[in-house]
Amino acid sequence: MSKQTDNIEHLRQHAKLASEKAHAPYSNFKVGAAIRMHNGDVITGCNVENVSYGLSNCAERTAIFSAIAQGYSAADMATVVVYTPSDQTYAPCGACRQVLAEFLPADAVVSSTSEGAARHWRVGELLPDAFEFDVEAYRKKTL
């Protein structure tokens, strides 16, 4: 197995374990995500649903927000692997793509894995032409 495949399989195992912790009583679709940091640490997340459906949080965003809450920053985040208990793969939703683009570089790999298939993208492919905002430049112009 190549180093890259090895890394993804290792993260898939973490993401699969995380999926078992999901709070998904409405969809019954338990998703897990695992982020590998440049120092080798792995931070995971799962989807957390709400009776007010729109408040539900996907596994990818839970993992990223959890990493931030634990003291990691964008500079630490290297690779994300998502796991769904399925025979197919699912691409990250639009909200997660925006959050992935906030914290991972455009060339970082995001993988969707399951029991039967895997797909890989770069963050920049998931959200081409991402919204970028230079707050300092904007303030200088407007204040």
Which amino acids are annotated catalytic? 60
- By CB under 6 A, tell whether 29 contacts ligand THU: yes
Enumerate residues 6+ apart whose C-beta is below 8 A from 41.
Answer: 72, 76
49 is in an annotated binding site: yes
56 to 59, 78, 110: CA distances (angstroms): 10, 25, 21
- By CB under 6 A, tell whether 100 contacts ligand THU: no
What torsion do the CA atoms of 30, 20, 11, 33 make, to the nearest 10 degrees? 40
26 or 138: whose CB is closer to ligand THU? Answer: 26
46 is in an annotated binding site: no
- By CB under 6 A, tell whether 111 contacts ligand THU: no
52 is in an annotated binding site: yes
Using CB under 6 A, list all residues that contact ligand THU.
Answer: 24, 27, 29, 31, 47, 49, 56, 58-60, 82, 90, 92-93, 96
